[in-house]
Amino acid sequence: MMVTPRSTRNASSRPGRSQARFAFIILFTINVLNYADRYVLPAILPKARQDLGLTTIEEGLLGSSFLLVYGLTTLPLGVCADRGVRKNIIGLCVGVWSVATTLGGLSRNFWQLISARTVLGIGEAGYGPASLSLLGDFFTKAQRGRVLSYWSVGNLVGAAIGFMLGGLVADAFGWRWAFYMVGIPGLIAAYLAWHMFEPERGVFDREVDAEDYGVSEVETVHGSIGIGFWTRAKKNLQVPTYLAVICSLVFSFFTIGGTSFWLPTYLVNTFSLSVGKAGITTGAVLASSGLVGTLVGGWLADYVQHRRPDGRLLVSALGFLIGAPLVLITLLIHNMTLFIALFAIGGISLSFCTGPIFAVVQDVIAPGARATALGLTGLLVHLLGDAAAPSVIGLIADRYTLSFALITTTPTFLFLAGLACLVGARTVARDMRRMQEQMRDKIGS
Instruction: Write a three-state SS string for 315-361.
Output: HHHHHHHHHHHHHHHHHHCCCHHHHHHHHHHHHHHHHHHCCHHHHHH
Please report, for the chain, the start and end positions of each structural domain, with discontinuous segments joined by +. Answer: 16-223, 228-445
What one-character DSSP code corresponds to residue 214? S
Instruction: State the Cα–Cα distance between residues 275 and 34, nearest whole angstrom.
Output: 22
Q: Give the dihedral sign, CA 350/131/365/73.
A: positive
Q: What is the pLDDT of residues 377-396, one digit of tens each?
A: 878 888 888 889 999 999 99
Give pLDDT, residue 334. 87
Looking from the CA of 362 toward its CB, the CA atoms found within 13 Å total 8
Give pLDDT, residue 419. 96
Q: What is the pLDDT of residues 15-33, one digit of tens each?
A: 778 888 898 899 999 989 9
Q: Which of 280, 260, 265 is nearest to 56 (CA)?
A: 265
The CATH code belonging to domain 16-223 is 1.20.1250.20
Instruction: With a cut of 70, list the residues of the chain below it in pLDDT.
Output: 1-13, 79, 81-82, 141-146, 149, 202-229, 367-372, 439, 441-445
Instruction: State the Cα–Cα distance between residues 358 and 145, nearest whole angstrom.
Output: 14
Give pLDDT, residue 206. 55
Instruction: State the Cα–Cα distance between residues 326 and 139, nearest whole angstrom.
Output: 40
Give pLDDT, residue 215. 38
Using alpha carbons, list the distances in angstroms from residue 152 to 24, 29, 144, 355, 391: 12, 11, 12, 11, 27
The distance in angstroms from the start CA to the end CA of the chain is 13
Instruction: State the Cα–Cα distance between residues 116 and 120, nearest whole angstrom.
Output: 6
Give pLDDT, residue 367. 65
Instruction: State the Cα–Cα distance between residues 392 and 59, nearest whole angstrom.
Output: 11
- Say which CATH class 228-445 falls into: mainly alpha
Indicate if 228-445 has the same CATH topology as 16-223: yes
Give pLDDT, residue 209. 46
